[in-house]
Structure 1
Amino acid sequence: MAVIMMRLDKFLVEMGAGSRSEVKKQISKGLVLVNGIVVRKPEMKIQEQEDVVMFSGKEYRYEAFVYYMLHKPAGVISATEDRKDKTVLDLIPDKKRPDIFPVGRLDKDTEGLLLLTNDGQLAHRLLSPKKHVDKTYEARISGIVTEEDIREFRTGLDIGDEKPTLPANLEILYTDPTKTESYVSIVIREGRFHQIKRMFEAVGKEVLYLKRIRMGSLVLDTKLLKGESRELTPEEVKMLINETGGEHAKENA
């Protein structure tokens, strides 16, 4: 099997140590050690899986993919960059990789679970309508949700797209007749634009608050406050990969 080699500066940039220019400056100053030996050449090739790299006193180990769970607050957009608004990437200051992105999107005013990763294969499978990965939300609705609404959600709704929505599970948690509001749980298997809001509009109601609590096997950690994040555990990653039939499941097991 051929040994894969990588430039030292490229390795450090991919591991989130800094920009290419910053990394090169630190290497030239003798602040980088490879297997205990000071290296001053950014172009030096290393075995990223084997060599031990120390940068400014911190050890860096190669990770092909990283995965973060974020408790997204309202007011933050699901994008990698924006000139006006704060993005979900701004909420992960200790991210190890500069190439992570949100898997799908939550509307600006929607809260809850958001997965961020640089694993494009997994992201594609999680978002593919063919995989039918369940996404569970809790919502506060203006109006009293009825059994008829539940049946319509289960059948599929015309929300103005070319095709009706796939069947969705709607559950009434409780209602507040004094405020004419309902608290519900919804499970969908798609990710259309403003889908849940449009589904309730189709039955004459309005979403006042929306929070995603689950995506496939991944459940929002109740210990995470709004705006907080953490890396996924190896078990969580393995479950996500396995349930979507990922070819690289064994590599991450």
Structure 2
Amino acid sequence: MRLRLDKLISNMGVGSRNEIKKDAKKGLITVNDEVEKNTARIVDSEKDVIKYNGEIIEYREFIYIIMNKPSGVISATEDSQHETVIDLIDDYYKFFKPAPIGRLDKDTEGLLILSNDGQFNHELTSPKKNIPKTYYVELEEEIEENYFKVFEKGIKLLPEDIITKPAKIVDLTEKSCELTIYEGKFHQVKRMFEKVGNSVTYLKRIKMGDFELPKELELGEYRELTEEEIRILKAEDNI
């Protein structure tokens, strides 16, 4: 990416443009090992080697994070009353202003992706993409035989007055299952089970498309997605 030298450095959270300009005059900035005092110079983030006070500045435009969201935390960028998923990440990542892709209810755990790539976020949540989301569900009552056909046919939700897209249940025990849905309506999984006279006691998202929550990621932990994982997700939504 080609951009101004001061913008590249400031975008990485090193300092303000005024501070960078002053330091450039002191000879603290080099481009390809040559002192550069003109902070308006256009540089190539992929080709030029930028050093600020002797440290190489590696430019990044986007970040992609996978989190195993814990219960009690809301899927939002900020909230005056509740802890958010952004509160759980390091200040380094906060600088990039990532946002959760889609939402998980406060008491729902599991797979949550955060990114500042707006296009990526949009494509993963677009209803037109029909990206499946799979949840592990524990229920108060036993799973009845009619659930399978009812969920596959679709359930009417109010006040939206919509019929959910065909959903798939895979029963694991008498009171637990995996449920795959293709939307993300407010409290959708809980409301679907309420419609058949049951109650969700525990809910965890374990999969988006073909991308599964990494087994080694403990509850409340997060890490950056690998390049391969990003490719899987982008292939899923055809970005």
TM-score of the two chains, using structure 2 as the length reference: 0.88
Is residue 7 of structure 1 aligned with residue 32 of structure 2? Answer: no
Greater mean alpha carbon deviation, residues 62-71 or residues 213-222: 62-71
Is residue 84 of structure 1 aligned with residue 96 of structure 2? Answer: no
Pairwise CA RMSD of aligned residues?
2.4
Q: SS at the partner of 1:95?
A: helix
Gaps in structure 2 of 5+ consecutive residues? none
Q: How far, CA to CA, are the matches of 2:107 and 2:119 in structure 1?
A: 28
1:155-170, aligned counterparts within 5 Å? 155-160=153-158, 161-170=160-169
Query: Which residue of 2 is the match for residue 69 of structure 1?
Result: 66
User: What is the letter of the counterpart of residue 77 of structure 2?
Assistant: T
Query: Which residue of 2 is the match for residue 148 of structure 1?
Result: 146
User: What is the letter of the counterpart of residue 60 of structure 2?
Assistant: E
Alpha-carbon offset, residue 185 of structure 1: 0.7
Is residue 53 of structure 1 aligned with residue 50 of structure 2? Answer: yes
Gaps in structure 1 of 5+ consecutive residues? 176-181, 247-253
Q: Deviations over 1:21-75 (max 9, x none)?
A: 6766765665544323444554443222222123455433233332111111111
Greater mean alpha carbon deviation, residues 37-46 or residues 200-209: 37-46
Q: SS at the partner of 1:77?
A: coil
Contact 2:62 2:96 (C-alpha < 8 Å) held by counterparts: no
Contact 1:136 1:186 (C-alpha < 8 Å) held by counterparts: yes
- Identify if the C-alpha distance between structure 1 residues 19 and 218 changes in structure 2 by more than 3 Å, giving closer, same or farther: farther
Contact 1:15 1:96 (C-alpha < 8 Å) held by counterparts: no
Query: How many pairs were matched up?
Result: 237
Identity percentage of aligned residues: 45
Query: Which residue of 1 is the match for residue 201 of structure 2?
Result: 208
Q: How far, CA to CA, are the matches of 1:112 and 1:22 in structure 2?
A: 41
Q: Deviations over 1:74-122 (max 9, x none)?
A: 1111111222222212222142851321111111111101111122222
User: What is the letter of the counterpart of residue 172 of structure 1?
Assistant: D
Query: Which residue of 1 is the match for residue 219 of structure 2?
Result: 226
Contact 1:113 1:214 (C-alpha < 8 Å) held by counterparts: yes
Query: Which residue of 2 is the match for residue 178 of structure 1?
Result: none
User: What is the letter of the counterpart of residue 237 of structure 1?
Assistant: I
Greater mean alpha carbon deviation, residues 88-97 or residues 64-73: 88-97
